[in-house]
């Protein structure tokens, strides 16, 4: 019998390496990886392009009604890429202009309702790894494995700066540090679904771990959780 498929929820601060871990796990397990932050970034891109006034609820509602998001798997990047109204916007959503606005947009209740409903729909098939800020607390409170990731701020700044340079974008180390600190603050202090560690989440501080060590550690957690599901499945078959 095939191993039961579980839901893996990964939450944590900006640039902790959540997406790297999520992608590795999905590839190893044959699961679908969904980057929930990409949805908030794509909504932000739409708002910026269309001059939506964030303080005007009617404008926000009407804009959300015109947004269709979907993911398509890109095998060459081992990643699902996000489409905003059928346009692949992966290369725009990581810009600093988007990063500077996204936490403000993600704090809007209607935006969260819009994104969370779609995320929960995607989880129905199970066999999913999703990363974000409220995945273990709000989106999938019943996820079989919840991970809360942290890493030292200095390390996170360096990682994000390297990503920015690799993708040929502008920005100094100071810009990145300021942006990360600001996003962590807003994400943790907003009223709607703030970043919190779920009570049953396992903490992963990867400041001193290589990618391989991190993956090995988490795969052991996954196998333990999958094994817990197996007897339940056997009872039903
Ligand atoms: O993971 P990221 O840096 O791409 O996320 C972009 C922003 O979206 C981040 O500042 C917080 C927000 N976000 C959120 O509020 N809830 C999520 N589940 C994912 C991201």
Neighbours of 5 (CB within 10 A): 17
Specify the 3-state DSSP secondary structure of 126.
Answer: coil
Q: Pick the atom of ligand 1 nearest to 106's CA.
A: 15
Contact 40 CB / ligand 1 (< 6 Å): yes
Tokens 């891109």 found at: 45
Polymer length of the chain: 237
Average the pLDDT over 15-34 and give the result.
93
CA-angle at 13, arms to 228 and 183, nearest 5°: 150
Calculate the alpha carbon distances from 30 to 57, 119, 199 in Å.
40, 19, 28
Q: Give the HSE-up count for residue 31: Cα atoms under 13 Å, Cβ half-sphere.
A: 29
- Which tokens sit at 65? 């009604």
Q: Give the closest residue (by CA) to ligand 1 atom 3.
A: 14
Spatial separation of the C-alpha atoms in residues 183 and 206, rounded to whole Å: 20
Every domain of the chain and the residues it spans = 7-219
Which of helix, strand or coil describes residue 30?
Answer: coil
- Structure tokens, 95: 């810009």
CA–centroid distance, 106 to ligand 1, in Å, is 7
Decide: 187 in ligand 1 pocket, CB within 6 A: yes
* Arithmetic mean of pLDDT over the chain: 93
Can you give the pLDDT at residue 30? 93
- Separation between Cα atoms, residue 213 and residue 149, nearest integer Å: 14
73-122: per-residue pLDDT in tens? 988 877 889 999 999 999 999 988 999 999 999 999 999 999 999 999 99
Q: What local confidence, expressed as pLDDT, does residue 236 receive?
A: 64
Say yes or no: domain 7-219 is CATH 3.40.50.300. yes
* Reported pTM: 0.92
CA of 236 to the centre of ligand 1 (A): 38
- Rounded to whole angstroms, what are the CA distances from 120 to 6, 139, 143, 159, 213? 14, 6, 11, 30, 30
- Residue whose CA is closest, atom 18 of ligand 1? 132
CA of 19, closest atom in ligand 1: 1
Atom of ligand 1 nearest to the CA of 139: 18
The overall longest dimension of the chain from CA atoms, in Å, is 57
Distance from C-alpha of 159 to C-alpha of 164, rounded to nearest angstrom: 9
Q: Is the CB of residue 184 below 6 angstroms from any atom belonging to ligand 1?
A: no
How do residues 127-164 score in pLDDT, each as one tens digit? 999 999 999 999 999 999 999 999 999 999 998 899 88
For a mutational test of ligand 1's pocket, the pick from 8, 130, 187, 193, i.e. the residue with the most ligand atoms closer than 8 A to its C-beta, is 187
Distance 99 CA to ligand 1 centre (A): 9
44 Cβ contact partners less than 8 Å away, ≥ 6 residues apart: 93, 98, 101, 102, 105, 106
């Amino acid at each position: 019998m095939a191993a039961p498929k579980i839901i893996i929820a990964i939450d944590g601060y900006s640039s902790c390496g959540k997406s790297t871990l999520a992608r590795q796990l999905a590839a190893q397990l044959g699961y679908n990886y969904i980057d929930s932050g990409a949805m908030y970034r794509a909504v932000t891109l739409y708002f910026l392009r269309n001059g939506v006034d964030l303080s005007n609820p009617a404008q926000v509602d009407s804009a959300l009604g015109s947004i269709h998001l979907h993911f398509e798997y890109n095998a060459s990047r081992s990643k699902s890429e996000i489409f905003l109204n059928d346009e692949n916007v992966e290369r725009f959503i990581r810009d600093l202009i988007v990063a500077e606005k996204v936490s403000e947009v993600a704090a809007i209740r209607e935006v969260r309702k819009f994104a969370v409903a779609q995320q929960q729909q995607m989880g129905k098939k199970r066999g999913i790894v999703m990363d974000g800020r409220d995945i273990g607390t709000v989106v999938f409170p019943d996820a079989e494995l919840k991970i809360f990731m942290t890493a030292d701020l200095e390390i996170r700044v360096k990682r994000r700066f390297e990503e920015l340079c690799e993708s040929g974008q502008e920005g100094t180390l100071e810009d990145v540090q300021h942006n990360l600190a600001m996003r962590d603050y807003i994400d943790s202090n907003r009223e709607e679904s703030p970043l919190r560690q779920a009570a049953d989440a396992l903490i992963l501080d990867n400041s001193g771990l290589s990618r391989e060590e991190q993956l090995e550690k988490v795969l052991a957690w996954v196998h333990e959780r999958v094994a817990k599901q197996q007897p339940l499945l056997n009872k039903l078959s």
